[in-house]
Amino acid sequence: MMDKEIKERTFADLHIHSKYSRACSKNISLESLEKYARIKGLNLLGTGDFQHALWRNGLDVLEERDGLLYSKTGFPFVWQTEISLMYTKDGKGRRIHYVILAPGKEVADLITKFLASKGRLDYDGRPIFGFSSIELVDEMLKIDKGIEIIPAHCMTPWFGIFGSKTGFNSLKECFGEREKEIHAVESGMSADPDMLRKFSFLNNKAVVSFSDSHSFWPFRIGREATIFSKIESYRDLIRQIRGNEIIGTVETDPAYGKYHFDGHRLCNFSCSPEETRNLNGICPKCGKELVIGVENRVEELADQETRRTKPYYKILPLHEVIALAKDSTLVSKKTWQVYNNLIEKFGNEFKILFDVSENELASVLREEEKLFELILENRKGKLRVKPGYDGEYGLPMFGEEQKTLF
């Protein structure tokens, strides 16, 4: 359970998408994002995709104050987008995703103008460009020094800055002397702070965590989040990121991520880093090189023992816990009924996951012994997980039973 001091903090999810991004729900709206952010227990969201013209036009209904955007009911958003860079450096093709935060409307529009000079913005809410990470930093600094650039889901093989397929071995290798302009990295679902704190080159950087949500549902939005001291302005937010003053993060178990273990999805084969070494990195079913996952890549880059500097909370979204307990699906009426009853009783999901006392839970879940047990195990970060690999999410487990996470 969280202490009173942390309960009063700002829970933020600053990596989301609009309905104009590929593979995202077409029903995403500002209203739905706010509704389920409140149900989740979040109190600050990124706007997502601010450079996409159609989504950008809709943001004009929000009122800007001190660099934040507020809905009519007073819910705050931060100007935010994600872009993909695809370029060659040191003879290797690079594919790196970045979260970009902006300190206000004018700056967001200047960023959009720059991006439009480099490629199309209308085909995807997360556009792709061919310029380098160094150029990204240089151009953002020219626009405004308050722009924050955060390497997204930093360990994933294909699009993470440290990923096994297209990534770099350090911030310095990617950014050169501009390394000092990068203040934080996003852990992503396949990594957690304990893993990233094995890299000495991140010793002075913050580790943040956001959901990269492709919908507004509470089993997507806020599944990973960062806990800040009270945020009342963009200045508050950036000061805490750049000074590594965040309180902590909410993280799913890294094994739930799509790329935790090594393997081949089409071959239905996965294995641990140790097994990969025994196989010389070759899939025993097709004879091709395995896709090296996050755990293996962390072992490769680690140059120190874990140096944990902030707490984090390893926890599974409540929908998954209910679905596992009820042998149901995330979107079934059975799961939603239990979820809605708990929200009506206790207010929001984070309160249920972290703060409601065992006695209070027991009084409500008198006939739901399995769910009660799972919620407590989840709170302790002790739910068992069969690791995900090569694009397949991990599987939460109860005894020998397994249920897909997504």
Which two structure tokens, joined as six digits, stand for 94?
Answer: 């690079």
For residues 302 and 246, give the distance between their C-alpha atoms in angstroms, rounded to a whole number: 23
- Which amino acid is present at 178? R
Residue 283 has pLDDT above 90, yes or no: yes
For residues 291 and 157, give the distance between their C-alpha atoms in angstroms, rounded to a whole number: 8
What would the mean pLDDT of 117-138 be, rounded to a whole number? 97
DSSP designation for 393 = P
> How do residues 253-277 score in pLDDT, each as one tens digit?
999 999 999 999 999 999 999 999 9
3-state secondary structure at position 11: strand
DSSP per residue, 82-126: EEEEEEEETTEEEEEEEEEEESSHHHHHHHHHHHHTTS--SS-SS
Name the strand (E) or helix (H) holding 136: helix 133-143
Q: Which homologous superfamily does the CATH classification assign to the domain defined by 4-255?
A: Metal-dependent hydrolases (3.20.20.140)
- Residue 371 CA, distance from chain mean position: 26
In the chain, the percentage of residues whose pLDDT exceeds 90 is 92
- Which amino acid is present at 213? S
For residues 161 and 171, give the distance between their C-alpha atoms in angstroms, rounded to a whole number: 8
Ranges of each domain in the chain: 4-255, 317-382
What would the mean pLDDT of 208-213 be, rounded to a whole number? 97
> How do residues 327-381 score in pLDDT, each as one tens digit?
999 999 999 999 999 999 999 999 999 999 999 999 999 999 999 999 999 999 9
Q: What confidence score (pLDDT) does residue 5 get?
A: 54
DSSP per residue, 274-340: HHHHHTTTB-TTT-SBPBP-HHHHHHHH--S-----S-EEE---HHHHHHHHHT--TTSHHHHHHHH
307 contact partners, CB below 8 Å, separation of at least 6: 197, 203
Q: What confidence score (pLDDT) does residue 170 get?
A: 98
What pLDDT band is residue 402 in, cutting at 50, 70 and 90?
very low
What pLDDT band is residue 3 in, cutting at 50, 70 and 90?
low
Place of tokens 């407590």: 376
Q: What confidence score (pLDDT) does residue 8 get?
A: 74
- Which amino acid is present at 18? S
Average pLDDT across the chain, whole number: 94
